[in-house]
């Protein structure tokens, strides 16, 4: 019974919410936007400049931090959004600060917090703020949860907020959702979109969930807003540092010409705000940046043909069976139909006529001997011996041997004791035969490259 009852709680809110959204019975509980002049007792209040009505089914995902689309805001427009509440002490102070500035914001409620502090949820509704959901238990593993558990977190969170709102839930609960820690998952995003729920990310953060000072929260919020000049600011109404930084953030935004926008869902009685598609893009094309275009394809006669036309005899001129290309091949008919004059005859001689018989003849197949490459025979030992025998020998005298010995000794002394290069391997010295050096000895090592004939020296 308990499992059955919990399943009904999880699925019934979706049926009601989907039906209300489909038939347009969901109405707005938000108050009209309040300007500074409409804020009694606070003439210098920032106020809410306008209300932006969005259709979740047309734009299911928002926020430049993760998605390709964001809210279609103008320059110097900011949407305030708060997560993780309600927490009585801190959330009540945030509500008081917003009320003093006549600002409406967007809140994303945790289901357990709504069950624990239902009065805080009703305070948001009574102040005219937009109420969305933020899962049931705020798991920081939504990007890794199985889809059934992710669905349970989403459904249970909605059921808890609806229970806190009571009979007014159909009018007060908006189909807006934000992932805890912005840890998105494609499967659960598709599930949300199928239910007509818009997934919110953000355009800039203030890092107020970290252990930093309120001054640092203020600095990060202003720096990042100034960097983008418009977008969704994500804050947490349960943090004391956020309570301390929020008044200064609002004062600085007003001093620098920023305005606050309140976002609500579209209904049958409240149509979506008219916008252009490029206004939702994260990086819309700029008119100051030139856009390159490929050159247009010329409109040739055969541009759209799947196959090129095969030339026929009518495309050629000639007498007595000769084939000579005409002056306007392949396009003669088109040119005559368009009334264009025929090309002038070229001053150079026309091509050599080719007879039909020779054109249809088959060329002979080349013989295999045309492609044969003769291989050079490798020298045999007998050929090397004959070459050595036919090569004259050089007689080296004692004087020449002495000169060669002194030259080798001088080379060794200049290169080192071992005849080696610096840092390299030693070179082997050449043997000194002391007498006649047969050239055939060189021929044995490489008989085809190093055969040298040396004239006899006259003694």
Of 451 and 3, the one with more pLDDT: 451
Angle at which helices 147-165 and 2-23 cross, to 10°: 80
- pLDDT tens sequence across 238-297: 999 999 999 999 999 999 999 999 999 999 999 999 999 999 987 666 556 555 555 555
Flag whether pLDDT at 299 surpasses 60. no
- pLDDT tens sequence across 12-33: 444 434 443 343 333 333 345 5
Q: What angle do CA 109, 157, 211 make, to 5 degrees?
A: 45
- Give pLDDT, residue 95: 98
- Give pLDDT, residue 271: 95
- Closest by CA to 25, choosing from 33, 16, 34, is 16
The answer to whether the beta carbons of residues 76 and 280 sit under 8 Å apart is no
Of the chain, the end-to-end C-alpha distance in Å amounts to 128
Task: Tell me the average pLDDT across 189-213.
Answer: 97
- Give pLDDT, residue 316: 59
- Give pLDDT, residue 394: 54
- Closest by CA to 58, choosing from 262, 277, 278, 232, is 277
Strands, E assignment, 276-400: 316-317, 322-325, 354-355
pLDDT confidence tier of residue 406, bands split at 50, 70 and 90: low
The answer to whether the beta carbons of residues 264 and 30 sit under 8 Å apart is yes
Q: Assign a CATH topology to domain 2-280.
A: TIM Barrel (3.20.20)
Rounded to an integer, what distance in angstroms lies between the CA atom of residue 229 and that of residue 226? 5
Residues of the chain with CATH 3.20.20.370: 2-280
DSSP label of 310: P
Percent of the chain scored above 90 by pLDDT? 51
The two structure tokens encoding residue 449: 């490259």
Flag whether pLDDT at 7 surpasses 60. no
DSSP label of 438: -
Task: Tell me the average pLDDT across 222-249.
Answer: 97
pTM over 0.85: no
Rounded to an integer, what distance in angstroms lies between the CA atom of residue 147 and that of residue 165? 27
Of 67 and 293, the one with more pLDDT: 67
- Give pLDDT, residue 451: 46
DSSP H helix total and E strand total for the chain: 14, 13
Flag whether pLDDT at 430 surpasses 70. no
Rounded to an integer, what distance in angstroms lies between the CA atom of residue 96 and that of residue 287? 43
Of 60 and 42, the one with more pLDDT: 60
Flag whether pLDDT at 416 surpasses 60. no
The strand pairing partners of 366, in sequence order, are none
The answer to whether the beta carbons of residues 133 and 177 sit under 8 Å apart is yes
Residues sharing a CB contact under 8 Å with residue 85, sequence separation 6 or more, in sequence order: 91, 94, 107, 109, 110, 113, 120, 124, 236, 237, 238
The verdict on whether omega for the bond into residue 105 sits within 30 degrees of 0, i.e. cis, is: no
């Amino acid at each position: 019974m308990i499992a059955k009852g919990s399943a009904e709680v999880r699925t019934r809110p979706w049926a009601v919410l989907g039906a209300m959204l489909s038939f347009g019975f969901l109405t707005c509980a938000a108050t009209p936007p309040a300007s500074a002049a409409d804020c009694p007792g606070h003439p210098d209040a920032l106020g809410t400049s306008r209300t932006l009505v969005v259709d979740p089914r047309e734009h299911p995902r928002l926020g430049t931090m993760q998605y390709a689309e964001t809210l279609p805001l103008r320059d110097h427009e900011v949407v305030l959004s708060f997560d993780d509440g309600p927490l009585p002490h801190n959330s009540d102070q945030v509500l008081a600060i917003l009320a003093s500035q006549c600002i409406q914001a967007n809140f994303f409620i945790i289901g357990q917090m709504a069950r624990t502090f239902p009065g805080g949820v009703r305070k948001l509704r009574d102040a005219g703020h937009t109420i969305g959901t933020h899962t049931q238990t705020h798991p920081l593993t939504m990007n890794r949860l199985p889809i059934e558990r992710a669905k349970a977190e989403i459904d249970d969170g909605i059921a808890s907020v609806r229970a806190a709102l009571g009979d007014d839930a159909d009018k007060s609960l908006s189909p807006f959702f934000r992932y805890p820690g912005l840890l998105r998952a494609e499967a659960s995003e598709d599930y949300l979109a199928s239910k007509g729920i818009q997934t919110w990310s953000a355009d800039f953060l203030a890092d107020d969930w970290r252990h930093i000072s309120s001054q640092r929260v203020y600095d990060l919020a202003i720096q990042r807003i100034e960097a983008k000049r418009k977008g969704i600011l994500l804050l947490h109404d349960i943090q004391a540092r956020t309570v301390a930084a929020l008044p200064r953030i609002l004062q600085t935004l007003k001093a620098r010409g920023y305005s606050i926008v309140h976002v609500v869902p579209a209904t049958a009685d409240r149509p979506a705000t008219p916008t252009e598609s490029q206004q939702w893009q994260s990086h819309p094309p700029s008119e100051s940046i030139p856009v390159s275009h490929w050159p247009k394809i010329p409109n040739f006669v055969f541009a759209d043909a799947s196959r090129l036309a095969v030339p026929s005899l009518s495309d050629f001129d000639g007498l007595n069976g000769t084939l000579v290309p005409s002056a306007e091949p392949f396009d003669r008919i088109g040119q005559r139909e368009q009334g264009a004059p025929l090309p002038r005859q070229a001053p150079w001689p026309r091509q050599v006529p080719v007879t039909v018989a020779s054109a249809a003849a088959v060329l002979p197949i080349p013989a295999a001997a045309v492609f044969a490459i003769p291989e050079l025979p490798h020298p045999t030992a007998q050929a090397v011996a004959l070459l050595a025998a036919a090569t004259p020998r050089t007689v080296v005298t004692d004087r020449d041997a002495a000169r060669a010995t002194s030259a080798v000794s001088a080379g060794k002394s200049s290169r080192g004791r071992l005849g080696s290069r610096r840092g390299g391997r030693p070179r082997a010295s050449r043997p000194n035969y002391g007498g006649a050096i047969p050239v055939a000895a060189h021929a044995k090592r490489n008989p085809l490259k190093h055969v040298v004939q040396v004239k006899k020296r006259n003694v």
